[in-house]
Structure 1
């Protein structure tokens, strides 16, 4: 493990993991602790589901979902890297990942997955049983998602189904109306396809060489038109969900700002500039935070 201190990836966001003991750094990379944007994009749909209900979200559930998002995102990334280690060795951006580089073995990664899943499982202790059941129904999606890029041009759609499942869990846990939950989920799936298509444009050249499929490769030069369609679906789903949940002018005002941002991005994002694509992808944390804020503030006003 003498080489682990030099492990790095091109798209890392934070470097506190460099201060970990050398033996732990590959695990931090495997769980993407140095790139928290994925954790945010997994967590924010959970919080949005909670915020659909009247009143402010339960702080215990907010914290529980945060812990669960860190653990389950890490477990999902570990499983993904186990499945993709041969592909990752052939892609410039991913060849330094711990399994692709040989810093960790499959056995070590498997044990790490179980440990993270056990931490994530603790969240179930604070959920009502219907929400627990819905959480468990997501497991097939978690298992099959890493393999979708091999068999379909739409792996981003399966990511959307998986990453936004927390809307169903959070909405049921908070007692939000089912029609609103489902419409928020549908809009968020379109949102995820959009932002992950932008992300996938970073790797489209390498993906074409090794046979990995994605909506970035499928859409190609038509990506901007597809993004407009996807984001129009997103805003429509979110607006309908808010209306059915009884949200009012605060939510609608924030949703209008989100729509203006998304439509501008859809028209202007430079899909042939990997650094710009990565930055655009990262900014979707603020889109999700704005959605949660709009739902929660309006829910607080309704509740009072």
Structure 2
């Protein structure tokens, strides 16, 4: 078996044995890597709030057959739009990525993809996302259009604020409101509170992730909550974990049906965040990455119980 250093077409920070490296046709790989298809955790973290929104809507209104399509549309849309967001991020960060060891092998800084090609790929993914979006309720369509401003701003946030994770949270959790609106045809308070909870959750998990790059970020002047919190990260992240759980508890209460089932899922979600805090080692990049990726399981647990609460 070849080592990763012997495979120049492999991105350094992608999971070993990912399907893009092993199964995708070689000509497709740079484009799939530009979309981060070789690391699906970002798609999960974009998708899970959408599932939360569907669950909250079912709790408030009861299940509908169209919820199956909303879930599928959100799944496809999350994959496509996360890819578009990552492509846009790499376009704006191409000079920064070239200076960071972990990102230097990405398609743009390594020359696997041209800048013009990246813009064309961005447009193609955006068009695909639009097609999916137009199959949903009009309220959801307008919610999707409104999210584009957040997606456009996020890559620049680390240049002007110590809180770029807030901007990521604003964009990544928008789906909880979009999916709720797709079911209900309107936006209520419950998904808005859940959106705020998702922002706190994003600050939690993305700060853990950002601790991998603190040294490089200091050298190139990139801001992050990991740098801002420093040695106080465990204590501050505990506060964001508590805030996440409390806001989700309020959102569930506002949804108003089968609360016990939903709160069981929330208890499991909160326990998972507590487990992450117990194992958090800011100076250990591999540990930070493992904990970051584990948030898929936390979010799935909550999504499952919200769906059960809506179906019972």
Query: Among residues 164, 173, 176, which one is paired with 1:167 in the alignment?
Result: 176
Matched with 1:245 is: 255
Partner Cα separation in structure 1 for residue 263 and residue 306 of structure 2: 9
What is the root-mean-square deviation in Å for CA atoms of aligned residues?
A: 1.5
Equivalent position of 2:152 in the other structure: 143
Give TM-score, length-normalised by structure 1.
0.94
1:268 is the counterpart of 2:273: no
Alignment counterpart, residue 70 of structure 2, candidates 53, 61, 70: 61
State TM-score, norm by structure 2.
Answer: 0.92
**Contact persistence 1:72–1:120 (CA under 8 A):** yes
Query: Which region of structure 1 is more displaced relative to structure 2, 120-129 or 75-84?
Result: 120-129
Q: Deviations over 1:24-61 (max 9, x none)?
A: 21111100110000000001111111110234471111
Which residue in the other structure is 1:29 paired with?
33
**Among 76, 83, 103, the residue aligned to 1:74:** 83
Give me the whole-angstrom Cα distance separating, in 2, the residues matched to 1:120 and 1:111: 14
- Choose the corresponding residue for 2:13, options 11, 14, 33: 11
Do residues 131 (structure 1) and 131 (structure 2) align?
no
1:208 lines up with 2:211 in the alignment: no
Contact 2:268 2:298 in 1 (8 A): no
Match of 1:193 in 2: 203
Partners of 2:268 and 2:302 within 8 A in 1? no
C-alpha deviation, 1:16, in angstroms: 1.9
> Does structure 2 conserve the Cα–Cα contact (< 8 Å) formed by 1:5 and 1:25?
no
1:294 aligns with 2:305: yes
**3-state SS, counterpart of residue 100 of structure 2:** coil
Report the alpha carbon displacement of residue 20 of structure 1 after superposing the two structures with TM: 2.5
Equivalent pair of 2:12/2:105 in contact (CA under 8 Å): no
Secondary structure (helix, strand or coil) at the match of 2:13 reads: coil
Most deviating of 155-164 and 178-187: 178-187
Aligned length: 298
CA distance in 2, matches of 1:50, 1:7: 39
Query: Is 1:11–1:35's contact at 8 Å kept on the other side of the alignment?
Result: no
Which string of whole-angstrom CA distances, capped at 9 and with x for unpartnered residues, describes residues 144-201 of structure 1?
1000011100000000000001011011112286111111111110000100000000
> Given that residues 198 and 244 in structure 2 are in contact (C-alpha distance below 8 angstroms), is that contact kept between their aligned partners in structure 1?
yes
Asked if the contact 1:56–1:297 (Cα under 8 Å) also holds between the matched residues in 2, the reply is no
* Secondary structure class of the residue paired with 1:52: helix
Q: Which runs of 5+ in 1 are unaligned?
A: none
SS in 2 for 1:213: coil
